[in-house]
Amino acid sequence: MHANQGELITCDQNGAVKIWDLTAHSCTHELVPEEGVPMRSVTVASDGSMLIAVNNKGNCYVWKLSNGPDSNEVEPIHQFQAHSNYILRVMLSPDTKLLATCSADNTAKIWNTEKNFELLLTLQGHQRWVWDCAFSADSAYLVTASSDHVARLWELQNGETIRQYNGHHKAAVCVALNDLSVGYS
Domain boundaries of the chain, sorted by first residue: 82-165
pLDDT at 6 over 80: yes
Collapsed DSSP state (helix, strand, coil) of residue 179 = helix
Residue 127 backbone phi and psi in degrees, to 5: -95, -10
| Mean pLDDT, range 7-17, rounded to an integer | 96
Say what the pTM is.
0.91
Per DSSP bridges, beta strands 7-11 and 17-21 are antiparallel
Q: Is the pLDDT of residue 68 over 80?
A: no
* pLDDT on residue 179: 80
Number of Cβ atoms within 10 Å of the Cβ of 88: 24
Domain boundaries 82-165, corresponding CATH code: 2.40.10
Q: What is the mean pLDDT of residues 80-100?
A: 97
Determine how many CB atoms are found less than 10 A away from the CB of residue 1. Answer: 12
Q: How sure is the predictor about 76, in pLDDT bands with cuts at 50, 70 and 90?
A: very high
